[in-house]
Structure formats: C-alpha cells, structure tokens
Amino acid sequence: MTWDTLGRSKLKRCCTPEVLSVLACKTCHSKVDYRVMQPSKATPELFPQGSFHREDETDDGLFYGQPRLVVHVDEYAVKAIASYFGRVLPRDGTILDLMSSWRSHMPQDLPMRNLVGLGLNAVEMAENPQLDRAVVHDINADPVLPFDDSAFDAAVLTVSVQYIVRPVEVFRQVNRVLREGGSLHVVYSNRMFPTKAVAIWKALDDARRPQLIASYLHHSRGWGPPEALDIGNHQEPYADPVYVVAASKEHEYYGS
C-alpha cells in the first residue's frame, strides 16, 4: 500500500506505526485503526531527546513582544490559504485562530459567527480586522487553552506549528475546545524564524513534516484519521509552498 502524504509524492508505509497508522490511504480510502496506548504521555516522553529544543530558549514573550505587521508567506500562499479555508471551514461557525497575528487569511466571503484569535501579541491582533475577539496567551508556557469545552466549530493553526514546544498537550486542548465533528487545520510552509523553530521540525523536509503533525494528533488522541494536502500554487515557479494536515474530532480524550 502506498500513502499519498502531500498530494504529489507517495510514500511506502515504512516508518514507525505511531506516525503512519493514523493516515488514511489516498488510493483505496481505507482508514487505519488507532494504536491504543495507555496511559497518555507528555510530549518530551514521546519523541527523541532534544526534539523540541530551540536555538533561542529565551521567553517567547520577549521575542514576540515587538509587533511584526508583516505577512510571513508570499501573496500566492496567502491566496491559497484563503481559498482552502473558504472550501473547508463551516459557514456561520465559531472558529479559533490559534497562534493568531494581524492577519487570519480568511476569505472575505466566508460568513462566520465569531473568529477568536489566541496569540502572544495584543497589538498585532488588534490590527487584525477579521477577529471578533483576541486573547493573549502563551501556549508554550501554558498549553491549557482558556476556553470552555466544545466552544468552537473549527480551529486553524497557520504557519506556526513549528514553534510549539508541547504539541501533544496543545492538540489535546484543541480537541477539548472543539465540538464533536469540529475540525483542526494545520497550515504550514517552509518559512520560519529558525531560532524559535523546534529542532525536530528543522530536521525534517516537507515530505516528512505531515507525518510529524500526524503523530501529534495520534498521541493527543480523539481525532479521526488526518488528511495531508499540498495546496500550493504550482503554476508559479517561485511561489512559497503551502501544505495542510487536517483532522476532525471524533471524541474527547479524558485521560491524563
């Protein structure tokens, strides 16, 4: 069986089952059962030592305290992200923009009940015209999201997953705040602040990163099989690449 992880290249199922057992086969559309692991573990226990080390381990609040009113991917990537969100996000939904900034890249014609941003910089989020509410919160310092259970219909994490140092705990929290059937969309490119990106992310190429994100989902539990997509603009030879890993909440995990 081959596995289409990026919409272009197919990989053989030769990696660790903890990573690939959660993917759905794009050829036959079959789903692979989750491996039951009890009890759950924290991020550092699940990955090789040093995986979430960063070159710059200073307080993230200091690094991100200065507003950066810039877009971190090019115009082609921005359009691709907005187009994707327009296709997959629920109409009139309450949506969480995790690690939000001054742009959420939502299409202008997408009706939303509420768009809630959670990020580190209040000034950046105040400049975001699409946000209905902004919450300043450092998920690396405290992965517990300050929201009620089942508060959102969908969540997006756009070009920031590479900075999370406790992704299993964060994804478990996203699962908690989503309603049953709600979806998480992790959008990423190859752009980053290298000193703040975790080591395991920088060690992998674009073909392996969706498997890493799938492992975050797998270990945080409660998710259906994720789908990995390449949504970039391949008509423009120098356009920034854009990829997505998306999954829906099947149930809430109540373990430790």
Distances (CA, A) of 56 to 26, 165, 170, 188, 228: 39, 12, 21, 21, 30
Q: Quick one: pLDDT band at residue 33, thresholds 50, 70, 90?
A: very low
Q: Is the pLDDT confidence value at 17 over 80?
A: no
Among 13-22, 56-65, 239-248, where is mean pLDDT lowest?
13-22
Q: Which among 175, 168, 138 is positioned nearest to 252, based on CA atoms?
A: 175
pLDDT per position as a tens digit, 110-167: 999 999 999 999 999 999 999 999 999 999 999 999 999 999 999 999 999 999 999 9
Quick check: 5 pLDDT over 50? no
- Identify the architecture of domain 49-248 in CATH: 3-Layer(aba) Sandwich (3.40)
Average pLDDT over residues 71-80: 84
Give the model's pLDDT for residue 8. Answer: 31
Residue among 10, 175, 30 at smallest CA distance from 96: 175
Q: pLDDT tens across 172-198, in order?
A: 999 999 999 999 999 999 887 788 899
Provide the pLDDT for residue 191.
80
The Cα 10–Cα 26 span in angstroms is 9
**pLDDT tens digits, one per residue of 80-91:** 999 999 999 999
Least confident of 10-19, 146-155, 221-230, 237-246: 10-19
